[in-house]
Amino acid sequence: MSTALTTRPTAVTVAAWRDYDPEACTLPGMFLGDLELTGPVGEESDRLWQSGARRVRLTAPVDLADLRAPGAAEHAVRALSLVRDLTARAVLVEWRLRLDPAAPDDTWRVLSHLQPPQRLDGPADAAGALRGWREGHYLCKCLWRQGPGFVQIRDRRWGDLRRFTAEEPEYREVIGALAYGARADSVPDAVLADFLGERLVLEVGDLAWWLPYRVNRWIQEAMAI
């Protein structure tokens, strides 16, 4: 069964600058423009980086509270994938997030390895959740790597180091299938259940989306990570 999304990708609209500092971004030549990203998210992330983008602002909020509209889940996953991929490059991402108020109070922690949003709506104590996200965030908080014959995920979102290591090739295949979202029923149930149990996959409507990133910029020597 194909894991490709069948709906036509919707654009994720962003504004981009060449510097992290808002004051520096006001200088001539620093603004890269308002951009509509319609291609594969991985390629769009690479293109932003190669063009010099170091600060990126998503125009619309990422809405995980209302996914009933056609294409809403796909659009949310595309936006989350962009935030994830840019976080992996240590790009400053300015974005807003809306969570389902009925979701568990710690749902935000599942996403806490991503660049913290500027605004968070949904949790009963949204201000406290956002403060905890900002104070606890650092690069490499939840990442995965592929070694010779195995896949390993290192996860510190919950305060301690949790490791998940798999040698079976189907785990690597599912990571590839879910990297930018796919229907949950398009991948093996047993592997998906393992990843869901470890909270390494986020269910967004009918889609499943891979949470960890492969880091592109190390904050210290790789052996310390």
Strand, helix or coil for residue 119: strand
Span 63-83, average pLDDT: 96
Percent over 70 (pLDDT), the chain: 91
Residue 147: predicted pLDDT: 85
Phi/psi for 62 (5° steps) reads -85, 115
Question: Mind listing the pLDDT tens digit for each residue in 25-50?
Answer: 999 999 999 999 999 999 999 999 99
Residue 115: pLDDT over 90 = yes
Average pLDDT of the residues of the chain: 92
Greatest Cα-to-Cα distance within the chain, rounded to the nearest angstrom:
54
Confidence of residue 146 (pLDDT cuts 50, 70, 90): confident
Indicate the pTM of the whole model: 0.92
Residue 3: predicted pLDDT: 44
- Domain range summary for the chain, segments of one domain joined by +: 12-224
Per DSSP, the chain holds a count of helices (H) and strands (E) of 6, 13
Query: Cβ neighbours of residue 1 under 8 Å, at least 6 residues apart?
Result: 185, 186
Residue 219: predicted pLDDT: 54
Residue 105: predicted pLDDT: 87
